[in-house]
Amino acid sequence: MKTIYKIIILSALLISVMFFGSCSKSETESQSKLEGKWKFINTANISDSTYVEDWEFTAEGKLLIYHKVNLRDPLVTYEGTYSMDSRRMFTVDGFTKFPLYNTKWEIISNEDNALMIVSSADAGLFYREFVKI
């Protein structure tokens, strides 16, 4: 009878180790898919090529936003941080110029060279779509 209890306890322990080990691996894989430089696609006005907002996710947890409103403006870089909360969620912090960005973001899609993210902002949703550059 004691042998059966030992087998059950060891089995439960092994299953829990496998479960928790797989979670951290998927977060790491999600972060590596997020890393790189992404060009914002203005889905509200697809033909607008004057507004620039590129996001760069680094392996060290930095988020750099390269921003210019029109072609004559200089390109300005803003720096903040991001951290993966789960496989499909990450948190951004440290942006004073873009306070709406300092929130939790959900990854809607991150396939091939396309990234779609959304956050709850005030009384609605804040949506961003990118292509990898």
Length of the chain counted residue by residue: 133
**pLDDT at residue 6 in the model:** 58
Report d(CA 22, CA 16) in Å as an integer: 10
User: Which amino acid makes up residue 3?
Assistant: T
Domain borders along the chain are 31-132
Q: What is the topology classification, in CATH, of domain 31-132? A: Lipocalin (2.40.128)
Per-10-residue mean pLDDT, the chain, length 133: 63 55 56 88 80 92 90 88 94 90 93 91 84 93
- Tell me the whole-structure pTM to 2 decimals: 0.73
Query: Do residues 95 and 101 touch, judged by C-beta distance below 8 A?
Result: yes
Report d(CA 70, CA 121) in Å as an integer: 25
Which among 90, 41, 92 has a CA at the least distance from the CA of 63?
Answer: 92
